[in-house]
Chains A and B, each alone.
Chain A
Amino acid sequence: MAVQAAHELHDGDVVFVGIGLPNLACNLARATHAPKLVLIYESGAVGAVPDRLPVSIGDPALVTGSLAVASMADIFQCYLQGGRIQVGFLGGAQVDRYGNINSTVIGSYAHPKVRLPGSGGACEIAIHAERVVVVAPLSPRSFPAEVDFITSPGHNGKYGSRKQLGLPGGGPSRIVTDLGILAPGGSDGELELVAIYPNVEVEQVRQKVGWPLKVAARLETIQPPSERELYLLRNVLDVDHLYIGKRDA
């Protein structure tokens, strides 16, 4: 997943990075095909070049050698709301058929089955970033037809479509999972399967998604990671294997 997420980034993109796999993906992209990637963290680090894998989103290694340190008011107002962010990375406990993301509660808000951390910067990233890459492993619980709570808006939902709502950003462009990649298709932005890992069947993906999943007319097969990508992940970027399991590598 880290490698596929890295492939979603273009050289020169300004990326709003989260901790965990997104961070790993961004640093992998920076070490391979996108050396001019600008990493921005909501904590205020701009153009960060962390020389250790940051454990928290406010790690001191994000500051050392960065281009700038901004207040959070500036990060959200000038950088994000001002339209300067090309890519936002999001995860979440649930992603639904229109790319709405839930990181707030499982169950009802008043009496949740599971209380999750909440939005953080996710809601505004989903609204403003030119495109959003979502990284989440597939499971029926994580990919219901409709999320229990919309923390971060996708392409369509009970409040209307992005266009009707006038949301400035483009919304989720790619959902990178452990079995394949989903992307919005059709006019309503419903997620469909656009790429699949070698040796994975479409039916396997369908079983883990809570709506009748459409398959893109041209379904791509994802190439395995290169030797160099694997080397970087295992020996340079995540030496303690905090984020890469065997399957993710």
Chain B
Amino acid sequence: MRDAIARFVHDGDVVVIEGFTHLICFAAAHEIIRQRRSDLTLCRLTPDLIYDQLIAAGCAKKLIFSWAGNPGVGSLHALRRAVEKNHPKPLDLEEYSHFGLVARLSAGAAGLPFWPLRDYTGSDLPAVNPLIKSVTCPYTGALIATVPALKPDVTIVHGQRADANGDVQIWGLYGVQKEAAFAAKRVIVVVEEIVEEKIVRADPNRTLIPGFIVDAVVCEPWGAHPSYAQGYYDRDNDFYVEWEEISRDEQRLARWLDEFVYNISDRAAYMEKLGSERRQRLTAKTLMSEGVNYGF
């Protein structure tokens, strides 16, 4: 992870770390914080705790987003401090709805300059975001909203497993990860396990991202905690609730960053610190799916 972040994430980059509630790569964000990257433009549908932590650590100058809360809990306090009090740094916001941001990444992935969508009519969102525009449909004459392509400098995606070439298999919710990866100039994939290529080839419908668009493959078990990895570990809902208290108090958040990010070397040390009781509690039950016949 250290090498992947050092080599592919630079100061000033537009960075997407996707995963909608599921498979959010906190391990990568913590490494970015440890390497003290700055002036990043962070883009995600839901900034979630992962970007709240990056913002608190002073890594961000801008946020592109569509829903900024602590899911099921409340506010993102570091984000609110940055927006409302310019602390630790001012933070520019660029705001869409989920569909709008999905469409931006779809355009980026498809090599188109923009994406049309039937959205935003009657809403104030275009009035506060000049990048939301419209075109006249050449077939019907109707006015259709557009959003510009987003082409991140780097996208980081977490998955359950990949082979050594970075052919990534993901199951459960897969949000906008495929589009985010295809839109990016550089792609880092992080997985729970590295498997042999024949495992991937035995079930190709499950492959979301092909290795040939991937720049770095990192094996990082529990790399998505406190979010979850279907079939590996559950979402640590207790931590999402704890974050409300930790992040509300700036001093406490700083101590948390010291304890769980700056003063530890890597993900293995983080998990060690979290303790075996919590790991056991979150470990997923086994519920295998029946295979299918790929023969011809």
Contacts and interface: CB of A to CB of B under 8 A. Distances in A.
**Are A and B interaction partners?**
yes
Contacts of A80: 99
Given A69-B174, A115-B84, A124-B98, A149 B68 contact: no
Interface in B63-107: 65-69, 71-72, 75, 80, 83-84, 95-99, 102-103, 106
Interface in A52-106: 55-60, 62-64, 69, 71-73, 76-77, 80-81, 104
B72 A119 contact: no
A73 to B, nearest CB: 5
A44 B118 contact: no
Contacts of B179: 71, 73
B122 A60 contact: no
B175 A71 contact: yes
Interface stretch (B2-10, B148-156, B228-236, B246-254): B228-236
- Of the listed residues A76, A121, A160, A166, the one surrounded by the most CB atoms of chain B closer than 10 A to its CB is A76
4 closest A-B pairs by CB: A58-B21, A153-B122, A120-B67, A117-B69
Contacts of B263: none
Contacts of A121: 67, 97-99
B291 interface: no
Nearest to A161: B122
Interface residues of A, number: 51
A230 interface: no
B98 A72 contact: yes
Interface in B118-165: 118-125, 128, 142
B175 A44 contact: yes
Interface residues of B, number: 51
B123 A73 contact: no
Interface of B: 20-22, 45-46, 65-69, 71-72, 75, 80, 83-84, 95-99, 102-103, 106, 117-125, 128, 142, 171-176, 178-179, 228, 230, 234-235, 237, 240, 284, 287
A217 interface: no
20 contacts: A19-B71, A43-B22, A43-B175, A62-B173, A63-B173, A69-B173, A71-B178, A72-B102, A72-B176, A81-B118, A104-B95, A118-B67, A121-B97, A123-B119, A123-B120, A124-B98, A124-B117, A165-B122, A166-B142, A168-B118
B120 A19 contact: no
Interface of A: 19-20, 42-45, 55-60, 62-64, 69, 71-73, 76-77, 80-81, 104, 109, 112, 115, 117-124, 126-128, 149-153, 157, 159-160, 162, 165-168
Given A42-B98, A43-B21, A69 B172 contact: yes
Nearest to A62: B173
Contact of B68 (A56, A60, A118, A157): A118
A56 B21 contact: yes
A76 B21 CA distance: 17
Nearest to B65: A118
Contact of A72 (B20, B117, B118, B142): B20
B119 A166 contact: no
Contacts of A157: 122
Nearest to B175: A72
Nearest to B129: A109
Given A72-B20, A109-B128, A151-B123, 15 more contacts: A43-B20, A55-B71, A55-B72, A58-B21, A71-B176, A72-B176, A81-B118, A81-B119, A118-B65, A119-B98, A119-B123, A123-B123, A123-B125, A153-B122, A166-B121
A241 to B, nearest CB: 15
B173 A43 contact: yes
A16 to B, nearest CB: 12
Contact of A73 (B72, B96, B106): B106
A64 B98 contact: no
Nearest to A242: B72
Contact of B99 (A71, A76, A162): A76
B93 to A, nearest CB: 9
